[in-house]
Structure 1
Amino acid sequence: MSMKFVYKNGRKSDRTDKVEESQGTLPNKNNQPQKGDKKPVKPVILIIVLIAGLLFAAVFTGSCIERTFFYPTEYKKEVIAASDRFGTDRILIFSVINAESGFDKNTVSKKGAAGLMQIMPETAVFIAGKLGIKSYDLFDPGTNILFGAYYLKYLLSRFGDTITAVAAYNAGEGNVAKWLKVKEYSADGTTLKSVPYPETSAYIEKIKKSLKKYKKLYPSLVDKRKKI
């Protein structure tokens, strides 16, 4: 018996072009679409899908880069603990740490401010007295964040405004108290419309930007009970 092909089911039989054509193994002679043929995907659809994928990847990658290098949440456990104890907003604490030390726990300024939230020695003595702490290490992340969170809460309670409190954190509460009495810097005696120190002005803008970024990147950290 003559044989041209052996089929998958093991049966032996002659195979003709007609059979091949009907089973799709041989292109039809007229090159016309046949029943069962897959419709080609239009190039425009492929382009749309590709662009959508690239946009998604860009957004996702961009967010990851911002979280990792520009707006991290290191020492999250310590920040949450301090926030829960004093009621200081977590986003604000992270923003201040980012602006003050860039999350470097060993940073010391030329004026002697130390640690993650750059606590001045005299400010540390004041805070320790309020908290009843006799011995402390400002280079310990938990202690530094605890002191910084307390001081922010203290300033917020005194001035009643986040930006004014932030200005006081940078320039000192004594200076801010003076500025609030000058119409050039404050129209209502409560909030600041400008400050005379360029460094403090830049610091305020940096904190404002960080607050927005942290809220966007970490919505789960936002305390909806507080407006900052």
Structure 2
Amino acid sequence: MLRNCGASVLRRLRRMWRRLWLLLRLAVVAAVAFAVVGGWAWFERSYIYPYDYRSYIETSAAQQHTDPFLVAAVIKNESKFRSDAASDGGAVGLMQLMPQTAAWIAGRLGEQFTEDYLYDPAMNIRYGVWYLAELEKEFRGNEILALAAYNAGRGNVRDWMERYRWTDTFDEIDAIPYPETRLYVRAVLEDRAQYKRLYEE
């Protein structure tokens, strides 16, 4: 009886050891494969900081003389690179443009406009980058103010500048009155740094 019991325990231990050995080998294979395809940087590029529509972003950014990594960070925070994204407030597409803002941009560019354009990645990015560059010009290259205006509206930022006597050298993100806008500006700038780290050649 004891001999049978001991043999049974021994068989179980052997099975457990074989399973552990198999899991260990699989883990080693997975680690090697992970390293071969680029390791953590590959994971970041694929899942945390994607750069979809890169050619559209870089073409529009070059035309407007703005930073493509800033544009990518804006898209990540606005829509997570979903071209069909639509907010409860009515903003649409990759760069979450309001239809009335997009219509104004089209007018400035001398183009016809329909709301369907906002679901087209190339068009949405072109209009969004143009608008972001326009805000950068309006606020004399101050990215914090431009991003705050992109999120909260240029009128609000102008009001804050007048009320709190901000200048074009403003750099205190924590002083932005809207919590959502504070978080947005900080997130975009942090993400821009990561895009630059991962994709700058």
Do these two structures clear the TM 0.5 threshold for a shared fold by scoring above it?
Answer: yes
- Whichever residue aligns with residue 176 of structure 1, its letter is V
Match of 1:179 in 2: 160
Show CA shifts across 1:158-205 (max 9, x none).
00201110000000000001111233x73x354252211111011011
Larger radius of gyration, structure 1 or 2? 1
1:204 and 2:182 are equivalent in the alignment:
no
Partner residue of 1:117 out of 84, 87, 95 = 95
Q: Secondary structure at the match of 2:162?
A: coil
CA distance in 2, matches of 1:155, 1:111: 21
Q: Which residue of structure 2 aligns with residue 6 of structure 1?
A: none
- Aligned mate of 1:94, from 72, 87, 94: 72
CA distance in 1: counterparts of 2:163 and 2:35, whole angstroms:
50
* Offset, 1:135: 2.8
TM-score by length of 1: 0.67
Measured after TM superposition, the shift of residue 62 of structure 1 is 1.3
Q: String of CA shifts for 1:13-38, please: whole Å, max 9, x gaps.
A: xxxxxxxxxxxxxxxxxxxxxxxxxx
Residue 156 (1) aligns with residue 136 (2): yes
Counterparts of 2:137 and 2:194 in 1: how far apart (Å)? 25
C-alpha deviation, 1:77, in angstroms: 1.4
Distance 1:169 1:209 in 2: 16
More helix by share: 2
Using the size of structure 2 for normalisation, the TM-score is 0.76
Residue aligned with 1:181, SS:
helix
Alignment of 1:125-164 (within 5 A): 125-136=103-114, 137-160=117-140, 161-164=142-145
- The aligned counterpart of 2:42 is 64
Residue 183 of structure 2: SS of its match in structure 1?
helix
Contact preservation (8 Å) 1:181, 1:189: no
- Aligned alpha-carbon RMSD (Å): 2.2
2:170 aligned to 191, 208, 219, which one?
191
Q: Give the superposition deviation at 1:121.
A: 1.3
**Does 1 or 2 have the higher relative contact order (CA < 8 Å, sep 6+)?**
2
Determine what percentage of the aligned residue pairs are the same residue.
39
1:223 aligns with none
Choose which of 209, 214, 219 in structure 1 pairs with 2:200. Answer: 219
The amino acid that maps onto 1:174 is G
Partners of 1:130 and 1:167 in 2: how far apart?
A: 22
Q: How many residues are treated as equivalent by the alignment?
A: 165
Deviation string for 1:114-133 (max 9, x for gaps)? 00000011111110111111
Residues 104 and 115 of structure 1 are in contact (CA less than 8 Å); yes or no, is this contact kept in structure 2? yes
